[in-house]
Structure 1
Amino acid sequence: MTKLLHNLPIEDLNKENDYLGVIDKANLIQTILESNTEQFHEIKMFALYGEWGSGKSTLMKYLEQNLKDDFNTFFFDTWQFEKDDNLPQTMLEFLLKKSEDLGEKISGDILKFAEKLFRGLGESVKIKVPLYPQGPSVDINPSEFVKEFEKENISFYEALESFKTEFLRWEDDITKKKPQKYNIIFIDDLDRCEPENVLNLLSAIKLFFTYGEKTIFFFGVDKKAVQQAIQTKYKDVVKSEEYLEKIFDISFSMPEHDNVLKLVSTYFDDRSVEGERLNEKIADFFKQLQFTNPRRLKKVLNKYLLLANASENLHHNHKYAKYIGEIFTEESYGNYFETILSLYLITVKEFYPELFKTLFDFKLKEKYLREVVFKIDNQPISNKWGSVRQSLESSCYKTEIKKSFLKRFSTT
């Protein structure tokens, strides 16, 4: 029986289960990173852009494993810790905990200074917007930090310099005790976090952690989500695209997923249907709908598989059989139209509920039918058949459903 595919990152990615086609991209990024370590004292912030569900986590997990010979690797899942009050502080504690054999003195000192610096970071971070083409820059307003140091015998600048010193000590300590001379910290699931947490973490890393000389940060980023976070906080003060360009030194993009045949073939075999292969016909159907996001597609196909497995256990005269229809299953042929219709309805129901309501809005359909009949009645008899065909082609199905459906997918 075909197994359901989970939506978690693929831990043991290989050519057999690389449904998203990311291995080639990952290998290229790996080569670039391994070949440019001497640049890391200046270039620290890397971004991997890709929409939600495009496979960023899978690609970064693959890189994490493959880079272990040359890098000390860390994988920080921001969403797992988002409930914490201070995400930058949590990330630092995570790094220290994962660093084996670090002296307690280093951990205590760096955490002491970091706690003071990160507290209230969100209020102090400012965006400078110089004249084009320099673009915006990240800066801080030290006056916002004063209250954190009023009762201490240390100034903000002293704390900042102390943090820099302790972070460099941490770098030296971990790289001296291991054969790897560089650190790479993967930051995942930023697109799942609240806007304030996204900006606080990005700002803290850019402002405080990039003083190191042997550590780089590799972010998996849904560009639209981060842009929305920036716009939520800064409105029209700064262009989100320019902000991201300033934050990240180098960016990569996930490969396009127009070819979904390998993923579809996990659920549908290549049996012949109307002179074509079933898996190819199904893949082309989703491609025509522009519905190729891997995570969303897996969710639709998993739900279809549940129906198909249930169908195999029902007799044709079973009272529930009529609700599933004659769809293709692993063991039997079905009606191709009913199969496609089932996939279509699952897709709309899962991701476009408002459109799903339109599909079954019979009053709306009656309205369009009346308009079609009215147009036909006002045509000469010789033109009526052509009017029927033309009217139906431009009626609710094509105009209100198909075009709307395609339009929504093209903007997702």
Structure 2
Amino acid sequence: MNTLEYQLNEIGKKIDNIDEKIGAYKRTDFLKKNIVKLNRNSTKTLNEDYLNRTELAKVIADLIKKQGESDKLSIGLLGEWGSGKSTFLSLIRKQLKDDSNVIRFNASKYEDQEQIWYSLLLSVSEKYLSNKKVRFKKIKYIYNSIIIKKETGLFWWSVIAPALFIASTTVFSEYIKGYDDFSSFLGVSAGVFSIITGFLSFDLLKRLYSNIREYFNSSKEKFMKQLKYPNYKEYLGTRENVRQDLIVFKDLIIKQTDSEESSKSLIIIIDELDRCSDTTIINFFSSIEAFTDIPGITFLFSINPEIVYPVVAEVIPYRQSDETEKSFSKQTKLGAAFIEKYINIFVTLPINSDYSSYVKEILTDIIDEKSVEKLTILINSISYSKKTSPREIKKLLDLIMIYKEDFLDLTFLEFSTLLMMKYYYPNFTNTFAGINPRSNVLIKEVNYSKFKIESDPVVPIDIIHCMKDLLGESNMNCINKSMSKIERILVFT
């Protein structure tokens, strides 16, 4: 390298450094001005339907609403991470309108597998106790629980204890009146009997009062401690106790549901199960059989098959001849067969290929409408040939919003196009192999024959056309300078 080239190289570095500083300043300024809009639009995408899934959610909601007190239904919603399962569950809940009998349970918050069913019951109990007249509701729960568990002995003792106390005091008072007959054997026996009975009945009355006071003064958490059954396999029969308590709460919640539009079943939505540990997932599905057959309860499970199926397959015993077939696909099939025993209807979340409304909502009032439309065409084109998800698209749009001001030589569309293409087609620049990398000729003016389409046949021809159109005002020199920075942005993405 001669002196002139060295000096030019150093000048180039200084210019790049100045560009980075200016870009960082512009980025900060842009984010300050648009932070409210960015936050608002991001929040909206989590709660509304911009992926055309409302009709499917309505169908599932209508199916749930038709369930009666004697019906049993378990629905499995299948989808990968980022596919929008949680948002879709919110759409179903929105279609149910009256959610007074709907419980949404986030399984990932209760990682301890020994407590997951207790935690579910706690969520159900909190739903029941969430409104007014909590003490009256506790009385109804205690009464129903005693009846269904056939612990009517508690009722009898609550009657017998006062009766014994009254009888003993009466006998003792008669004994005092007839004190002249103290020497008689019958009188002495009556006196002793009344004293012993009075002591025992008084002690029993004190304990009953203490227990009742504890029920009404305890917090919901403490009130439900009796429902914690640590290990179903170690402590036999406890699942039946959990089942009975679930039935009690189900009946109480359904009876307090007034709306005619509500389902006459308790609806339990279980989300984020695929974020639990393997042990928790196995424990959950090993125990689920005790609860899915309860009449009047509809279960709606959110499941990522890629995570859950191989995990539950581990509990299925393999034959010796199957040892060589312990592949991922084999485990997935076994796991699917295992879970099919507990779920009546499976719904696969549709793979999305139209992000028009989704992108518009995220970028509205931030980017001009024409640029949004052009970027949407590229995203939709990519989604037809590549597996995409709403969360992934959202992540890339966030990166574009954060870093677009760092690229002074690129317009919003040019930077967005390069970042999207680099993420989904890492070798897409091979299509520019016939163009001088230092050329300042605009892409739109380059002869189409210069694009080496055969060098990367993975990129569909329609996407190459779209890319060429979006990069039309840029040049190869500018594109090449930007790619290393884009790679750094995507290195952990």
TM range (shorter): 0.5 to 0.7
Distance 1:21 1:235, change over 3 A: farther
1:255-334 matched pairs, under 5 angstroms? 255-265=350-360, 266-267=362-363, 269-271=368-370, 278-287=374-383, 289-308=385-404, 311=405, 321=406, 324-329=407-412
In the superposition, the TM-score normalised over structure 2's length comes to: 0.53
Distance 1:299 1:164, change over 3 A: closer
Contact 1:189-1:220 within 8 A present in 2 as well: yes
Q: Distance in 1 between matches of 2:353 and 2:239?
A: 48
How far does residue 26 in structure 1 lie from its aligned partner after superposition? Answer: 0.7
* Structure with more of its chain in helix, by fraction: 2
Q: Counterpart of 2:274 in 1: which secondary structure? A: helix
Q: Which whole-Å deviations, capped at 9, do the CAs of 1:270-315 have from their partners, x for residues lacking one? A: 5279xxx51343224432551420001100111101112xx1xxxx
Q: Distance in 1 between matches of 2:114 and 2:286?
A: 15
1:216-235 matched pairs, under 5 angstroms? 216-234=298-316
- Amino acid paired to 1:53: G
Kindly report the root-mean-square deviation, in angstroms, between the aligned alpha carbons of the 2 structures: 3.8
Distance 1:307 1:164, change over 3 A: closer
Distance 1:9 1:84, change over 3 A: farther
Pairs aligned (count): 303
Larger radius of gyration between Structure 1 and Structure 2: 2
In the superposition, the TM-score normalised over structure 1's length comes to: 0.62
Contact 2:79-2:85 within 8 A present in 1 as well: yes
Distance 1:291 1:210, change over 3 A: closer
Q: Which whole-Å deviations, capped at 9, do the CAs of 1:252-278 have from their partners, x for residues lacking one? A: 1212201122223343655279xxx51
Q: Distance in 2 between matches of 1:225 and 1:8?
A: 28
Matched, 1:23 2:68: no
Unaligned runs of 5+ in 2: 1-33, 150-223, 320-330, 434-448, 464-493
1:66 maps to what in 2?
95
How far does residue 57 in structure 1 lie from its aligned partner after superposition? Answer: 0.8
Q: Distance in 2 between matches of 1:161 and 1:190?
A: 23
Contact 2:353-2:380 within 8 A present in 1 as well: no
2:142 maps to what in 1?
105
Q: Distance in 2 between matches of 1:257 and 1:185?
A: 27
Unaligned runs of 5+ in 1: 125-144, 149-155, 312-320, 349-354, 370-387, 407-412
Distance 1:120 1:162, change over 3 A: closer
How far does residue 78 in structure 1 lie from its aligned partner after superposition? Answer: 1.0
Q: Counterpart of 1:32 in 2: which secondary structure? A: helix
How far does residue 235 in structure 1 lie from its aligned partner after superposition? Answer: 7.2
Matched, 1:120 2:231: yes
Q: Distance in 2 between matches of 1:295 and 1:192?
A: 16
Q: Distance in 2 between matches of 1:45 and 1:282?
A: 39
Identity %: 20
- Amino acid paired to 1:255: P
Distance 1:90 1:21, change over 3 A: same
Q: Distance in 2 between matches of 1:8 and 1:229?
A: 34
How far does residue 244 in structure 1 lie from its aligned partner after superposition? Answer: 2.1
Q: Distance in 1 between matches of 2:370 and 2:350?
A: 29
- Amino acid paired to 1:261: S
Matched, 1:199 2:234: no
* Structure with more of its chain in strand, by fraction: 1
Q: Counterpart of 1:24 in 2: which secondary structure? A: helix
